[in-house]
Structure 1
Amino acid sequence: MDTQSFKTYSAKPDDVERAWYVIDATDEVVGRLASRIAHVLRGKHKPSFTPHIDTGDYVVVVNADKARFTGRKETDKTYRTYSGYPGGERELTPEEVREQKPTYILEHAVKGMMPSGPLARRMLKKLKIYAGADHPHDAQQPQPLDL
């Protein structure tokens, strides 16, 4: 069998067809959910996945404030921010973060599971996270994504 005749498929940006998926984050574990979302945003679930092309789909997450942690992470985990000024470092627990910005926990987890660089920043723009059960993307007819 002549293996030289087979060509590796490389997706072109114009050939990519994007789907819309909706995920209900109620009682889902944050890390496992973020891993699945990052997988879909990158397009790794498609046979046409190409690492240097954005082949991923749009993901709409509802009820992001109801995602949960396992073990003692709800009390022991900390989120750090630094303003750049002396004494400007802040540590917040997930409970405090949920009060201020309920979508941040899931955004932060998904961003950490994406590769770094300009391509990943473009892919993250296809992630839409909402704290409540409603979202404004009904016109795109998102399909439920099984986890």
Structure 2
Amino acid sequence: MRQTTMTKPAEVVRQWYVVDAADKTLGRMSTEIAKVLRGKHKPTYTPNVDCGDYVIVINADKIVYSGDQESKKFYYNHSSFPGGLRKRSIGTMREKFTVEWVERSVHGMLPHTKLGDRQRKHLFVYKGENHPHAAQQPIELEIKG
């Protein structure tokens, strides 16, 4: 009889990946990053264990978006006080808050639990090409479109 093997937290082997975000679409890139952060690309994936890998995103300021989202898509925050609604366009997010823009996109695709909080900490986003994680010897992660 075959049994499903469940990965234990001590058995997890983590890898570092680097993603060049230049000329990539935000949503398509974020889904692939979320899959790697959760560990779904591994045959040893276990839903209740943090078995994902680390992901470094470089050139986040060169991400593209399709259509006329610049004028139609907005990001909302509320401070829970009267009149505390903040509304930012996608153009503002891309120019001034690039790192937050990418992190919010990936954050929405991860579980909103304690496990998702741990997986979220394995994402590192940088505007330019330089990153301080060269010692980890990251592998290039190819993402389409």
User: Scaled by the length of structure 1, what TM-score is found?
Assistant: 0.94
Q: Give, in whole Å, the separation in 1 of the partners of 2:118 and 2:10.
A: 16
| 1:144 pairs with 2:128 | no
Matched residue type, 2:129: A
| 1:81 pairs with 2:77 | yes
Of the three residues 48, 71, 80, the one matched with 1:52 is 48
Larger Rg: 1
Number of aligned pairs? 143
Q: SS in structure 2 opposite 1:123?
A: helix
Cα RMSD, aligned residues only: 0.9
Q: SS in structure 2 opposite 1:103?
A: helix
State the 4+ residue runs in structure 1 displaced beyond 4 angstroms: none
Q: Deviations over 1:12-53 (max 9, x none)?
A: 101110000000000100000000000000000000000000
Of the three residues 31, 39, 47, the one matched with 1:43 is 39
Q: Give, in whole Å, the separation in 2 of the partners of 1:63 and 1:28.
A: 10
Matched residue type, 1:143: I
What residue number does 1:32 align with? 28
Task: For structure 1, list consecutive stretches of 5 or more residues without a partner in the other structure.
Answer: none
Q: Give, in whole Å, the separation in 1 of the partners of 2:26 and 2:101.
A: 8
What residue number does 1:129 align with? 125
Alignment of 1:64-143 (within 5 A): 64-143=60-139
Task: For structure 2, list consecutive stretches of 5 or more residues without a partner in the other structure.
Answer: none
Deviation at 1:65, TM superposition (A): 1.4
Matched residue type, 2:89: T
Identity %: 45
Deviation at 1:98, TM superposition (A): 2.5
Given that residues 38 and 51 in structure 2 are in contact (C-alpha distance below 8 angstroms), is that contact kept between their aligned partners in structure 1? yes
